Structure 1
Amino acid sequence: MSETVTIKVEGMSCGGCSSRLAKTLSAIDGVASADVSHEAGTAVVAYDPARTRPQALHDAIEDAGFDVAV
């Protein structure tokens, strides 16, 4: 079973940023898909809650050099 979360991301300025972040999120164990838009400033992530949690997604976003908007 999967869940989907939309995370507001700050600091993306181009398509390269969103592409890099999508690859970073997709590499997390338990993430089924990551649709990242620098225009909207969002990351829509489908994940398996038995294998990962939203905090791990937030940590990966911040480790990639972006900020999670609260």
Structure 2
Amino acid sequence: MSTQQSTVTTMYKVTGMSCGHCENAIREELTEVAGVVEVSASAKEGLVTITSAVEPDEAAVRAAVDEAGYELAGRA
């Protein structure tokens, strides 16, 4: 018997991203946050989308974005 695990998708505005390298740096840091399954980042739109097993801890997300050298501007 298999159970389907649901996921939560959360979008954030991130300032300071300008290129693919920026997107990769953000993705790398955010994949380390507990429960995160997938991360997509768009420098052009200034958005980061996190897919996770549970609602991500915003303080952990903010710390990861800071560690990558960018600023979390809040939820999109």
TM-score (norm 2): 0.78
How is 1:13-52 mapped onto 2 (pairs within 5 angstroms)? Answer: 13-49=18-54, 52=56
SS at match of 2:25: helix
Q: Give 4+ residue runs of structure 1 displaced > 2 Å after superposition.
A: none
Identity %: 28
Alpha-carbon distance between aligned partners in 2 of 1:53 and 1:67, rounded to the nearest angstrom = 16
- Gaps spanning 5+ residues in structure 2: where? 1-5
Tell me by how many angstroms 1:49 deviates: 2.1
Find the residue that maps to 2:39 and give its secondary structure. Answer: strand
Q: TM-score, normalised by structure 1?
A: 0.84
Shift of 1:27: 2.3
- Provide the rounded CA distance (Å) in 2 between the counterparts of 1:41 and 1:65: 14
Question: Which has the higher mean CA deviation after the structures are superposed, 19-28 or 33-42?
Answer: 19-28
Highest CA radius of gyration, 1 or 2?
Answer: 2
Residue of structure 2 in register with 1:67 after alignment: 71
Contact 2:29–2:67 (8 Å) recurs in 1: no
The aligned length equals 69
Report the alpha carbon displacement of residue 19 of structure 1 after superposing the two structures with TM: 1.1
> Cα distance, 1:63 vs. partner?
1.9
